[in-house]
Every structure is written in structure tokens, then in C-alpha cells.
Structure 1
């Protein structure tokens, strides 16, 4: 652990959750990591936050990640398993209303939490969140399904070679390895963390529970291109628009102020995502693409903005900050800027 950060675990009403804790202040911050990562990706960020002396910071590992239990994810509930886990975690800690920060998948999880547990948040920060209409399988800003069975989303869309290398504990720099995937897509090349941090992050990736109940999930075949449809278990299926539609976020009964931070060069959550079958088909990377009229690229950032504008129209407030020369991990790539933006936002609320 980095100096000033302790590694802990707590038995909640749902499962045993491992978490990192830092800071001696009295303003609680809870940080939720993304897919294919863990709380370890927050250590440097937590150090910087705790240096202010104002905050006490908690970063749990979600189920199936890091040191937390690998309980199966019921994808038919969307992200509610994760949302309920956060609620059980903060209840076990006895936290008062707190500030919630979610990165990538964690951004969608915290949006779900805000809907499921209104009145418990002081503010909500979304860093490089996924689309409120799930990952893959939608065609416009309103989240219209591309196919009736949501083909092109879910557990079957994960690169099988990446999944194989994860399961084998591959620490190489070969194509499709966890290390190469992280350095190519989590960050905007040529950005690279220190060798020590890189080893820490690779270790975090390799701690993921790789099985049909967790990552990436089970899959079903489809008659529609690209011939894979979502199953019912695991995190990638929970992110499928078959089960995840967060348009109702715009109508939360309690509307905490929202800060949306994202990188201008994000290759994962993008209107031209390198992980979206619609865009990959357009590039010729996946054979048989039926064309943009039938299967366009998913406009992920436009969908986020669409839902946040509806949130604003219904009485909420949000601000958007796009960071130049930055990929999918602003708190790592642009740590000083994100610390400044986040603390200014938190301190205002």
C-alpha cells in the first residue's frame, strides 16, 4: 500500500467487501472503480485527496474484483447488484450523506445508486462513465436498440484472447494481454505510468474473477450480426442495454449536483469506441458488418449528454469538463487537474 492508505475488509449484509481507506478529515468520499480494474487504481489519487486534510476516502473493490468476494452478478437486474452492494457497504461503515465518485463502469453504478437510494448523496461525480443506455447494441441518442435481442452487447462481446490471457495470469506485453490493453486503451498513448504503478495495475487486473458469473459473463447466439446476444450472468451482460437503461436517472426523486469529467481521446467510451461492434464493423475489423443504416456506431458520449440534459431539464444541475490529451483514466493521466476539479466541486456542496 502507498503511505497513508490502509487495506481493510468489512462484512456487509450482502458480502465481504475489501476496501482502501485514506485521510483524516470529516468529509466522506466514496470512489467506485471501473471494469477490469480495482481500488488499487485509485491509490495515488487517494493520496492527493487525503493531503488536503479535509476528507476521509473509501475505495471498495466491487464484487468479483480485487480482494472482494466473487459473488455472481445477476445481469437481469442491470447494475442493481453493484448498487445494492454500495448501499450495504456504506451502511456497514455507518457513513452519513457522502460524495460519490464513479469511474467507467463505476460511473454507471453510481448513477444506479443515485436512483435506488435517493437522499443519501451530497454530490455525484461521473468520470468517463459508460452510456446510460448500456454498452453496445443501440443506435441513437435515445438508446433505440439496434436489434430486438440486443445483439452486439453482453458477455460475448469481450475479446476471447484478452479473457484467456486474464484467466491465465498473463503479465506479458503481447497484443491482447492485460498490460497491452491497459496501456493502449485505458490511457492515451504514449502516456505510461511508472514501472512500479504499471505492475500494481496489472496485478489488479489479474485479480479479477474470470468466470460466467462475473467477468465477462455468459452469452447467447443470435441470428443478427455480430451473432452474439447477452446472457443473464456477469458484468458485461449487466451492462447490456437489454437490462440497463438509465434514462430514468433524469427523473431521480433527489437530484444531487453532477460533475461529468471525461477525456477528449477516450477510446473506450466514445462515439467511435474501439470496443463497439458498430464502429469496429465500420473499420472492417469485424467481418459481415451490415452497414451504418442497419448497425451504426453507438453514440456513447452523445447519449450521456442527452440524459444529463434531461436531468437538468427536470430540475437537476450538471457541469461537464472534457480534458484534452486524455484517454479513459483522467484521475491517472491528469491527476492534478482532476483533484482540483473534484475537490472544488465537493467543497461547493
Structure 2
């Protein structure tokens, strides 16, 4: 059923919900406590398989392909509501499968989806795990630990068009520096690590639907640097600060324990991220940058920490765990270190 080969022990199925037809990977006993996994951008549930199979006895792993990724029905992604739609799609699977109270885990963009999910469904959550998550104020278009918008139209916004083109063409190779395989090797993980199932992970990346309605979405001209702002369709507009704000995570009630776990050397989500246009402008890679006062690099970690500190002040608890010598995907790069902390969090 899955277009990407799965590991032994992983089940693949389609789940028709009241919203869309969702591809789901699962393992573990059907009466086990559910752990729901939400993948990041330009990937799919495939990325979670090793982590799923190592769950302790008594847990049931459920990993969902978001719309526009993997084998889930590729309904359009709205710029204004795309992240909320992702969260509602996840909820529709939880309800259709009758999962009951559950743990939830999100990686990167999926971390932002999980934050929105928690805002709406806190009472059903046993715990929250945010793995190298996008900031509660999204990716792009904000500054300062409080997530203030850089410009009122969401600028700066954009992505390397060559990567998008190679993704759309199904490029499998490693000759072009911007090929999906090289982006995986250089940014998803910390070099020189190469995942054992690299081919399957590249296949997973290539399931991403490309275009205005999906990835990367559309953009509109802007009078602000660098001349583009998020449009009204697709992934990048959906998680830009203009359309995404999950800072009310700090106010949810009840407050399940949160584990924030990240790679020490993450280049995708950091306070100086390699896909943040403001950071690229600061380093001279994008011309015309207007300077730190007007358009500083987005302090993604500081923004996350500020919201989680407020969560703790409001009576919740969180733990920030940094996995040394790991990049954006510590669950793939350092599985023993990751699972030790993750499994203790589930049990706690």
C-alpha cells in the first residue's frame, strides 16, 4: 500500500476519515497505548519507522502522512489555514481509529502541527514530544523572542527554486548540491552521518507534492526585503508567522508534560538557521539585507524556550534535552540517546 518500502513489522493502511483519506503506518499491539507521530516538511511517516519499532512493550505507534506528503490524499494546503488543517487531519485519524488518550510526537514542521493539536485537544494527551520543532511563531517573518512580525505582510519569504525543481523532477542522485539526497545528507542530519535507509528516506522526500497548492506554495511581490512575501496557498505561507501562531500552547489546560528534544548542531531550526532568509541575508548570501535592526535572523530556539517557560510558569512542566553531535533528526542520528530520553518521557 505504501509507495515507499517499509521495515519488517510496520503495517501500512489507508484510513478514510470525515476529512480525507489518510495513509497511516503502525506497529505494536492494537490495545496498546497510542503514540501518534507527525512528520516534518518534505518527508513522510517513513522517517519515523525505526523509532516506532523501538517503542517499549505496551505502546502502539501510529505515524500519519500529512496531506500532500506520502500516500495521503493530496488535498490543497491553504496558506491561511494549512497548519490548522494538518492538525485537524491528524485529529480525524485519532477519532476514526478510536485511539483514546494518547501521546503525540512532532518533528520540525510536525512540531508546529502538534502544538496546534495540543491547543485544541489537551485533555486527550498523555504527553507531548517536540523534536527539533518549528518555532511556535512559525518559520520566517518574525523577530525577537516574543515573535513580533518583521513586516506586516510576512516578508521575508522564499526557498531555493533549484531544490523545488529537483524535488518535482524526482531527482535521486547526489551530483547536484541541491538534490534531495544532498539536502538530506547536509541538513536533515549532521555530516558525515548517512542513514542506513537513505534510499527510502529520499523516496519519502520525493512523495512531496510540488506546486502552489502544496510545497512550496505561492508568493506575492513585496515592497519589503527581499521583494517577496507569502501568498495564500501552500506550505511556506501556512507556517509563516503571518498565518501561524501557536504561542497559546502556554495556556492550555490540562498541561501534559512536554519534552523538547533537539540536535545540538541543527542547521534547519536554530537561532541562525540556514533556511531563514534573514540569517542568509546577515551572512551575505542574499543581497540587499536591510540590517539587524530591521530584519534580524529569527531566534527560533529563543522563541520556543520563551513559550515553554511560560508553560512552566502557568503550571506545566517541560524538559529541554539537547542531543550532542546530531543535526535536525536526532532520532535517526543518535537513536540510543534519543530513545533513552523519549521512552523515559512516555513512561513518566
TM-score normalised to the size of structure 1? 0.96
- Work out whether residues 145 and 299 of structure 2, in 8 Å CA contact, stay in contact via their aligned partners in 1: yes
State the alpha-carbon separation in 2 of the partners of residues 134 and 10 from structure 1. 29
SS of corresponding position for 2:272: coil
Structure 2 gap segments, 5+ residues each: 1-5
Q: Residue in 2 aligned with 1:113?
A: 117
Deviation at 1:78, TM superposition (A): 5.1
Alpha-carbon RMSD: 1.0
Whole-angstrom CA distance in 1 between matches of 2:17 and 2:44: 19
Cα distance per residue 1:109-149 (max 9 Å; x no partner): 00000001231111100000011111112120001111121
- Are the equivalent residues in 2 in contact too, given 1:210–1:216 (CA < 8 A)? yes
- Residue 210 of structure 2 aligns to a residue whose secondary structure is coil
Deviation for aligned residue 1:290: 1.1
1:332 aligns with 2:332: yes
Q: Give the SS at the match of 1:181.
A: helix
Give the distance between the partners of 1:321 and 1:108, measured in 2 at CA: 18
Structure 1 residues without counterparts, runs of 5 or longer:
none
- Residue 53 of structure 1: CA displacement? 2.0
**Displaced runs of 4+ in structure 1, greater than 3 A?**
none
User: Quick one: which of 29, 41, 49 aligns to 1:43?
Assistant: 49
Answering whether residue 27 of structure 2 is matched by residue 22 of structure 1, we say yes
- Kept in 2: contact 1:83–1:116 (CA 8 A): no
Partner of 1:11: 16
Name the stretch that deviates more: 290-299 or 57-66: 290-299
* C-alpha distance in 1 between matches for 2:295 and 2:49: 40
Give 2:3's aligned residue. none
Q: What's the counterpart of residue 241 of structure 1?
A: 241
2:74 maps to 70
Matches within 5 A, 1:66-215: 66-77=70-81, 79-153=83-157, 157-173=158-174, 174-194=176-196, 197-215=197-215
* Secondary structure of 1:44 counterpart: helix
- The whole-number CA distance in structure 1 between the counterparts of 2:230 and 2:212 is 12
With the length of structure 2 as denominator, give the TM-score of the two structures.
0.96
Q: Distance in 2 between matches of 1:232 and 1:274?
A: 24
Pairwise CA distance, 1:288: 0.8
Deviation per residue, 1:63-89 (Å, 9 max, x gap): 000010110112212511011001100
